[in-house]
Amino acid sequence: MSRIEKNPEREERIVMEIVVDAYGPEEQAMGWCCYLQDHLEFPFTAQCIEKKRSSPLKVGQTVEVKQMAPEDECEWDMLVEIEWDDDLLAVPLSQLDAPDADDVTREAIADWRYWVERGYRFG
């Protein structure tokens, strides 16, 4: 069951711009990866808004997002790389918010979080 209501404008953008012509999970993931790569203005500051078992970030923690994770790491979730202990660490984009980023970046993050919160999956 979805955690949020359907948003017709966002649904149309996702179907017509992001996963258009995607015929399987790999193509959907690639569509999302390309969309985010084109719309996220790196680097940007983000705040953790949700605890995830796959990530060491704590709610409220601020991080610097450097880039998308490599495509082969984004086959089932959209991951971004952050600075972490003098290295880069891939974390789920869905656990981040970037209220101080530019409008295009904020909208792209919101699109991905919408997809996740609606319960959509690749496939």
Residue of 120, 106, 119 whose CA lies nearest to 49: 106
Indicate the pLDDT class of residue 3, thresholds 50, 70 and 90. Answer: confident
What percentage of the chain reaches a pLDDT higher than 70?
A: 98
Could you give the count of Cα atoms lying within 13 Å of 23 in the half-sphere of its Cβ? 1
Q: What is the pTM of this model?
A: 0.94
Q: Which alpha helices (DSSP H) does the chain contain, by range?
A: 8-13, 25-39, 103-117
The CATH architecture one would assign to domain 8-117 is Roll (2.30)
